[in-house]
A = this chain, B = another copy of it.
Amino acid sequence: MILIADNLQITNPVIQEAVEQLDPEPIQFLAKQCEKAGAEAIDINSGPLTPEPEKKMTFLVEAVQSVTDLPILIDTVNPRAMAAGLQVSRSHGIINGFSLEPAKLENILPLAVEYDADIVGYLLYPDSRVPANASERMEIAIDLHRAALQSGVQPEKLIIDPIIAPLLWDNGTLQVREVLDTIRQLPDLLGFNVRTIAGLSNLTTGRGSTNKKRLVEQTYLPMLAAAGLDMCLLNVFHSETVATASVCNTLLHDDVFAWE
């Protein structure tokens, strides 16, 4: 399981200010901290970046790349920002992402072919509703897969996000298990070993004690890993969760075990 830092977010006022001032330093600092904390990739969650989305996304990607060689996920709904980010990504950037929403099918999905990029597909309805269970997710996965193929995307470029829902939702605990079932069943459903990605912090969105939230994250992560999750977006500054992820990787791989 590859750990992707979800820490670089435009909702962080320090990052927002840095983007507006085109000041790379806070972004470089954060990117270095993420790598140090165990990130194996960095998600640039930039929002739409208007006005001047190309300029701002180019700045963001270059700021991150100036201090780390980690792969980058470009996480914006703005196709102009997305294209600009992919254009300057040193290694192929990963598009995060598309869904069955018409605007995304039309404007984001084609960029995967144009830039030969991996692309995340969200298991969401066209109106962005979260499906209620695994079988609804499966139907959406089939539609997403078909849309990707029709767009010329090679299947191995697709990474599916089953969408972790907040535990606080009325069906929150049901969704916990439906997401696990989805991750387990997707390779059989699509007939190849499709990669999966999920955003762990969605689970603990909303009010709640920090300690309890961390323990919930730390408990759900091994379940996701054992279900076969390939990539996990998380706050890499939660050191216990990162340590747990490392143990997951040890337990779920074939190497002979040794206590370090």
Contact = CB atoms under 8 A, between A and B. Distances in A.
Nearest to A219: B247
Contacts of A226: 177, 180, 222-223, 226-227
A225 interface: yes
Main SS class of interface, A: helix
Nearest to A222: B222
Contacts of A259: 168, 207-209, 212-213
A180 B176 CA distance: 18
A257 B167 contact: yes
Given A251-B176, A257-B172, A259-B212, A244 B225 contact: no
Given A209-B259, A259-B209, A260-B212, A219 B173 contact: no
Given A208-B259, A215-B243, 12 more contacts: A167-B257, A168-B257, A170-B256, A172-B257, A173-B251, A174-B254, A212-B260, A215-B244, A215-B247, A222-B223, A223-B225, A226-B226
List the 9 closest A-B pairs by CB distance, nearest first.
A208-B259, A223-B226, A219-B247, A222-B222, A167-B257, A172-B257, A219-B222, A176-B251, A222-B223
